[in-house]
Each structure stands twice: as C-alpha cells, then as structure tokens.
Homo-oligomer: A and B are copies of this chain.
Amino acid sequence: MLLPQTLSESLTDLRALLGERLSTAPAVLMQHGQSESHIRTRLPDAVAFPQDTAEVARIASICARHRMPIIGWGAGTSLEGHALAVHGGLTVDFRLMHKVLAIYPEDMLAVVQPGISRERLNEDLRETGLFFPVDPGANASLGGMAATRASGTTAVRYGTMRDNVLGLEVVLAGGRVIRTGSSAPKSAAGYDLTGLMVGSEGTLGLITELTLRLQGQPEAVSAATCAFPSIAAAVDCVIATIQTGLPMARIEFLDQATVAACNDYSGTALPLAPQLMVEFHGSPAGVQEQSERFGAIAREFGSKGFAWARAQEDRSRLWRMRHQAYPAILATRPGATAIVTDVCVPISALAQAVLETQADIAASSIPGPILGHVGDGNFHAILLVAREDPAEHATAQRLAGRMAERALRLGGTVTGEHGIGLGKLHLMAAEHGAGWTVMGQIKRALDPHNLMNPGKLVQQK
C-alpha cells in the first residue's frame, strides 16, 4: 500500500493529467473493487478513465514515479478476481477506449481499442459479413478477453484468444509503448510477444489496441440440443465426435441439474437429462452432411433424438438460454452465491474427470451443476454456497481444489479459460513447477518494481 503522502502526490499528478477522468468517489471505487464471483472486495485508491494510448502511457509513467500499482479494468466480468486491487493503487478503466479503429475486410482483420465489448464489436461487424468468433458468454471487453486468454463456446472450432489476436499495442511499466505482431497471417521474426501478453492478466502491461482475426459469417448454421441417457454417454459422444474430425462450431455439455435450472429460468422445455448443445457452420450442403454425421454418432451413444434450431431466432433463443445458465443456476438456490470453477483435461480423460467431479460434488453437502465447452475438454462446476456460511464456502473450496488436482493428475490444467486471478494463484506451482519461476523472471525483467497488477500470476515475495 502507498503511504498517504505518496498517494496524495500521485493523485495530484494524475488529476493534472486526467481532470474529471480521475475518480476517487467511493461508489466508483466500490464498483471497481468487486468481482462477479465470490472473491472479496478490494478497493483501488483511484480509478482512471483514459481516452487514448498516449494518456495510458503517461499514467504508467506517473505511477512508476510514485511506485503506484496499476490494474487494468475492462467489463468487470472476470470470475477469479483478476482486476482487484490487492495492493491498492490505480485501476485503469478502459470504457472510454471503446472504438473500432479499422476493419480490413480483405484481410479479415479488425483493429480495436481494448474497452469495446464482444457484442458491440460483432454488431459493428454485421454489415461486413464477418464476425469475431471468441464467445466467453459474458459480454466481456476485448482487452480483458486478451489479458485473460478467454475462450468459450466456439473455441473448439475457432480457437481461443491465443489464436485470434494477431497483434497488440501494449503500455509497459514506466510508460514504454510497444507494438507486437504484424498484419501478416504468420511470422517467424523473433519472440512471440503477442502470445506472451495474451493471458498475462495485466501483469506485464496494459493492452491499448488489438488486431483481431475475423471469420466469415457462415453461409449456413444449424444448432440442436440432444439428450443422452447418462453423463458418460454424452461425454463419450463428444470424444468420438472430436476424434472423427467433424468440424463442430460448438459442442456444449449441460448436466441434468443445469438443464432443469435453464428450463426454469429461460422457459425452455428441454427433456430432463444430460444434454449436448451443438452447432454446425458451413455451406448448406456441408452443414447438412455434418449434422447427419453427428446424428449417427449420437445415436450410437444412445441419444434420444434432436431438437433442431435452424432459424436464426430459434438459435438465438437456444444460445441465450446457454449463456444464462449462470444466473439460472444461481436462481435455484435463493440467497446463495457461486464459486464458479473451470478445468480443462485431455479429451480422452474427459469422461473420468466429469464423472469423478460429479460424484465428489454429489457426496458433498452443496449443489454444483456441471456444464462446459466439452469439445475442448473444458468444463465448469457452479458450486452454490449460502452467502454467509463459512462451512459451505470451505466445502466448495475443497471441491474446487480437488477438481484442479484431478485435472492436473489427468494431464490437464487448473483453468481452461477463467484464468488464475486471485482464486487459483495457489495452484500455479503445482501446474508449472520450475516453469513458474521462469514466469517470475520474465515479470521482473519487464516490471522490476512490480507495478502492473501486483499480487497476481507470479510468485509473490
């Protein structure tokens, strides 16, 4: 934490730069001190709303002079407390940097500022016939999605932020500005700094501009839900589907408890059974062929048939239901809060990982529906705990911990897409061993005074 005198000097300098766009109002601090998850509130000392890269660089320079921590803020939709100011300091909220700077339809690229939301970008792209495919569900900011290496329902087809960010502009500690990558589809020119920044959770720098790969809107899209007699049957169907190389655009799993919650919340009437939600993208003939091949595989695993959603409107309803699974599950236990945790395992270990996790939760005292982007081996448990019940919180943390350990034991990772933040920092050593030390060396090389989102991702001294 900064000494009061130092803090006061920093705020004077920052106010001289930003005027009204620096806030220390309690409501603003509170808004930036909370996360969407169970992680407890940590207030920054102030919040800045910069308008352009030059301002961000000057903010970083002022903060370096006063040794004031800097934490980036996008839409605040992180689930692991990534953007909480654990050592106080300045939260840099990118809401005013929300422009699409350029669209290059021929190169299928867009250059955007970090504060733009995923949904807004896709609205702006609609007329071009292109779209940005990464879809974490929440209407996150693109800067935040890059910083946390987000993915979501479509990663099985289009990849994660790792695959869809071609270049960045980044403000480093002290205010240096670098540009990474180029607009060429590939490069063999030096260290992949774009890849290093994507997923660095604001600990190496603040992303001030992104060059994103776009995809052509598919000519034809078809989606379906498909019920299975058991979790094992549904997951084994996913494994078989992925292994045949069928280019699924989405393949999502919902356990029976999730289905029940979604039906209640969204007014759908899916059969109460483990379900897969699938989507196919391609030419009309291609989508038809893929649907038929998937149908044949699903029947082998005992599927009871499909509910198709071919019209845009029906598909939107379906995916809206899926994206509202989180509030739907929360609504099943009034007064509860959720510990949402995700892991990712090799596809071959998916059935074991899901079944063991389900059994573990079932043997506990709390409910925990399971759902996920199973085409990537990625699934979530939404552990519902009474808000003020420390015993239930402890139970949930133990379940989440065992889920992470199980993923590591099966060759996977403690987080497929939610990231580390505060919630999983204690698992980094187990996952990376000596590699975690290397991450710390890189951090110290680029941010020797530990000003960029301190308290996150690397070993704390």
B346, A434: Cβ atoms under 8 Å? no
Cβ contacts under 8 Å, A407 to chain B: 184
Most buried by B among A107, A200, A416: A107
Q: Does B434 lie within 8 Å of A184, measured CB to CB? A: no
- Contact between chains at B106 and A192 (CB < 8 Å): no
Q: Is A180 an interface residue (CB 8 A)?
A: yes
Given contacts A184-B416, A286-B286, A445-B441, contact A189 B346 (CB under 8 A): no
CA distance A424 to B188 in the complex (A): 11
Nearest CB on B from A236, distance (A): 11
A419 CB contacts on chain B under 8 angstroms: 188-189
* Cβ–Cβ contact A432 & B190, under 8 A: yes
From A59-67, A144-152, A296-304, A306-314, the one touching the partner chain is: A144-152
The answer on a CB contact under 8 Å between B420 and A184 is no
Among the 9-residue stretches A89-97, A237-245, A362-370, the one with 4 or more Cβ atoms under 8 Å from chain B is: A237-245
A285: chain B residues at CB < 8 Å are: 285, 289
Q: A187's contact among B106, B182, B413, by CB below 8 Å, is which?
A: B413
Contacts of A268 in B (CB 8 A): none
Is there an interface contact between A411 and B193, defined as CB atoms closer than 8 Å?
A: no
Tell whether, in the assembled complex, residue B184 and residue A413 are in contact, meaning their CB atoms are under 8 Å apart.
yes
With both chains docked as a complex, state the minimum distance between the C-beta of A332 and any C-beta of chain B, in angstroms: 27
Nearest B-chain residue to A204, judged by Cβ: B191
| A433 and B179 form a contact (CB under 8 A) | yes
User: Is A77 an interface position by the 8 A CB rule?
Assistant: no
Partner of A182, one of B105, B293, B412, B438: B412
Q: Counting CB contacts under 8 A, is A177 at the interface?
A: yes
Residue A248 at the chain B interface, CB threshold 8 Å: no
Q: Contact string, A224-265, partner B, CB cutoff 8 A, digits 1/0?
A: 000000000000000100011100000000000000000000
Decide: A376 and B186 in contact? CB cutoff 8 A.
yes
Chain B proximity of A127: nearest CB distance (Å) = 16
B185-A377 in contact (CB<8A) = yes
Instruction: Pick the contact of A243: B216, B245, B411 (CB < 8 A).
Output: B216
A439 to B172, CA, bound (A): 13
Q: Mark A177-216, 1 if CB is under 8 A from B, else 0.
A: 1111011111111111101101110001000000000011
Instruction: Tell yes or no: A371 within 8 A of B by CB.
Output: no
1/0 per residue, CB under 8 A from B, across A151-169: the answer is 1000100001011000000
A417 at the interface (CB under 8 A from B): yes
A444 contacts B by Cβ under 8 Å: yes
- Shortest Cβ distance from A418 into B: residue: B188
Interface presence of A283 (CB below 8 A): yes
State the number of copies, please. 2
The reply to whether B196 and A432 contact each other, CB–CB distance below 8 Å, is: no
- Tell me if A107 and B415 are in contact (CB < 8 A): no
Q: Which residues of chain B are near A177, meaning CB under 8 Å?
A: 434
A163 CB to closest chain B CB (Å) equals 7
Set of chain B residues within 8 Å of A283, measured between Cβ atoms: 289, 293
> With A180-B435, A286-B289 in contact, do A192 and B428 touch (Cβ < 8 Å)?
no
Asked if A457 is at the interface (CB within 8 A of a chain B CB), the reply is yes
Judged by a CB distance under 8 angstroms, whether A378 is at the interface is yes
B198 with A192: CB separation less than 8 A: yes
Residue pair B445, A188 in contact (C-beta under 8 Å): no
A245 and B436 alpha carbons, distance in the complex (Å)? 39
Task: Name the CB-closest residue of B to A344.
Answer: B184
Give the residue name and chain of the B residue nearest to A161 (CB).
B188
A442 at the interface (CB under 8 A from B): yes
23 CB < 8 A contacts A-B: A104-B348, A105-B243, A106-B346, A108-B243, A149-B192, A150-B188, A182-B431, A183-B346, A184-B376, A184-B377, A185-B376, A185-B377, A188-B416, A189-B419, A189-B420, A190-B428, A190-B432, A191-B457, A192-B195, A192-B198, A216-B244, A286-B286, A441-B446
Instruction: Please report A residues at the B interface, Cβ cutoff 8 Å.
Output: 104-109, 148-151, 155, 160, 162-163, 172, 176-180, 182-193, 195-196, 198-200, 204, 215-216, 218, 239, 243-245, 283, 285-286, 289, 293, 344-348, 376-378, 407-408, 411-420, 424, 427-428, 431-436, 438-439, 441-442, 444-446, 457
Q: A178-B435, A286-B289 are in contact. List 11 more A-B contacts (CB 8 A).
A: A104-B346, A106-B346, A107-B348, A162-B186, A163-B163, A184-B377, A184-B416, A189-B427, A191-B200, A193-B435, A216-B245
